[in-house]
Amino acid sequence: MLYFRIMSDANVIIIGAGMAGLTCGCLLAQKGLKVLMIEKNQKVGGCCTSFGKDGFSFDLSVQSLGECQRGGRIWRLLEKLNLLNQIRFIPLEPAREYHFPDRKVSQSSRMETHLENLSSLFPKERKGIGEVYAVLRKIFEEFSTIPSSLNWFEPSSFSSRYPFLSQYKDKTYGELLNESVSHPFLKTLLSIRSSYALLPPEEISVVGMAGIEMSYFNYGVSCVEGRVEQLPLKMGEALEKMGGEILTGHEVQQILIEGKRAIGVRLKDGQELTGKVVISNIDAHHTFSDLLGEDHLPKGFRSKLKGMKPSLSYFILYLGIEGELDELSVSNNEVFFEDQLQKEYQYLYENQISEKAPFYLLAPSKVNPSHASKGKNTLCLSCKTSYHFSPDWDRKIRDELSQHLINKASAFIPNLEKRIVAKIETTPKAIEQWTRNRWGAAYGWTQIPRQSGIYRLSRTTPIPNLYLTGHWTSPGGGIAGVVASGELTAEAVLSRFAKGE
Ligand SMILES: Cc1cc2nc3c(=O)[nH]c(=O)nc-3n(C[C@H](O)[C@H](O)[C@H](O)COP(=O)(O)OP(=O)(O)OC[C@H]3O[C@@H](n4cnc5c(N)ncnc54)[C@H](O)[C@@H]3O)c2cc1C
């Protein structure tokens, strides 16, 4: 292979154009830095993308978003980028319905309504419910005020400035619940959204759960009007208007090092591009093991990386169907066959799917009619799964899982099978191929205590000039989380340029 170095005059090269890379790139370009983004796919967005089949529109992943209503983190970002008039959000209230064998529970996106609903179901536990949310709120507030340059390893000042983060940094959410409430079904309801991190309450960190709960309640739950990919596509356009450049359809194969510092990247076609700073928005394992090479890493960092666990993934069946969906009262539904959330994970960790595994029953076109033509609708049926559930995710296994989900959903939508006119699925392997996130991990590193908060992989790396952004670094996955990550990485890079380093 012939390598040819192009002395690009980029201040910053960003590998991967997911929502974090785009956020970071736009904020840096807005401050006058020359940004070059390199994305292997033909379009930007990563997990936050959409596709069409037989006249139907589907969003690959994002079913609902926090922080999009006035004042929320995503809203503020779009305001800064002058994009508020180009992206519209549809508020979801109630946000979701949970279907249990013997009852249905509606989930408000408003904190006060949510607390009141839970307290009226469990009047004796009102105080404990308040205590749980007081801790989550405090942790979220403390975490949101940490500057990008904080020295984590200053234990004395850390515990006095961030008392809640310090107290709960090693705890699971299950432990917090046990301290404050006692009814098992209340515990289930209080922890139901730990499934957004693909973890049971006994394993998710309090810090991770605070991110999930508070980014919902602070600024409501919404979905993007039209296709979710409008969000990254408009941000990409904004970046280019500010002088940034996006090279789509180009895969980075190596991070170039000179004198132990990152100086640029080599693409698959042999081009070498140089820049003052390199930011990786891609899978951290891929960044360090494949693009950089472990020899460049200190021993301690290498072994930390080896011990880290990615989050689980999803199998998703997207359906275009004939007729209306009056059977469902909201667009986002989750169906449970038992109250104990932990049980499903015992199977998942053995690369199986329990017969009683919960499933998501989403009807996106109910709130987004443009996803289907008149008289038709879209459904997304999905379940959690590990990448290793199947060695190759071939047609046979995809058909079996699809049929399993259709059978379960038919209890809610009569004659479902006969109404299907379009059908396509996504597997962990397909998610991995599209995003390069290892094993199709939906949220980067899983949010267990040793990988959350102050323990998460830092945005600065042991390699000078190389930074991380996205769901493999802090604070973690979900669109609101990676937007925060993009902002914080931009802040760290800007302060470095400001110091003239
Ligand atoms: C199925 C699913 C459902 C989800 N549901 C929700 C939800 O409802 N709400 C929510 O908030 N979040 C949800 N998430 C999580 C959320 O989508 C992600 O956390 C977030 O989008 C990750 O963004 P990112 O910027 O970190 O990286 P990514 O989106 O992973 O982007 C990385 C980009 O880098 C590119 N890339 C990789 N390797 C290279 C290379 N070598 N060279 C060049 N480019 C490269 C990839 O093509 C990709 O575009 C879901 C995720 C999945 C998978």
pLDDT digits (tens, 9 = 90+) for 425-440: 999 999 999 999 999 9
Tokens in use for 397? 């296994």
pLDDT of residue 116: 96
Give 3-state DSSP helix, strand, coil % of the chain, rounded to 5.
Answer: 40, 25, 35
Shortest-distance Cα residue to atom 36 of ligand 1: 16
Asked whether 483 and 74 are in contact (CB, 8 A), the reply is: yes
pLDDT over 70 at 2, yes or no = no
Q: What is the pLDDT of residue 7?
A: 54
Would you say residue 1 has pLDDT above 90?
Answer: no
**151 pLDDT tier (thresholds 50, 70, 90):** low
Q: Which of 442, 416, 187 is nearest to 320 (CA)?
A: 416
Token pair 């017969």: residue: 355
Task: Summarize pLDDT for 314-366 with one digit per residue, the tens.
Answer: 999 999 999 999 999 999 999 999 988 899 999 999 999 999 999 999 999 99
SS3 state at 360 = strand
The CA 348 to ligand 1 mean position distance, Å, reads 22
Averaged pLDDT, 225-233: 97
C-alpha 49 to ligand 1 mean position (Å): 9
Strand-pairing partners, residue 297, are none
Pocket test for ligand 1, best of 19, 47, 49, 250 (most atoms within 8 A of CB): 47
Over 90: is that where the pLDDT of 96 sits? yes
Per-residue pLDDT tens digits for 267-290:
999 999 999 999 999 999 999 999
The pLDDT of 229-250, averaged and rounded, is 97
Distance 442 CA to ligand 1 centre (A): 7
pTM over 0.95: yes
Q: 501 pLDDT band (50/70/90 cuts)?
A: low
Segment 375-404, tens digit of pLDDT: 999 999 999 999 999 999 999 999 999 999
Residues with CB under 6 A from ligand 1: 15-21, 38-41, 46-48, 61-65, 251-252, 281-282, 314, 431, 435-437, 442-443, 470-471, 477-479, 482
Q: What is the residue with the minimal CA distance to atom 21 of ligand 1?
A: 47
Give the closest residue (by CA) to ligand 1 atom 10: 478
How would DSSP label each residue in 49-81? -EEEETTEEEESS---EES-STTSHHHHHHHHT
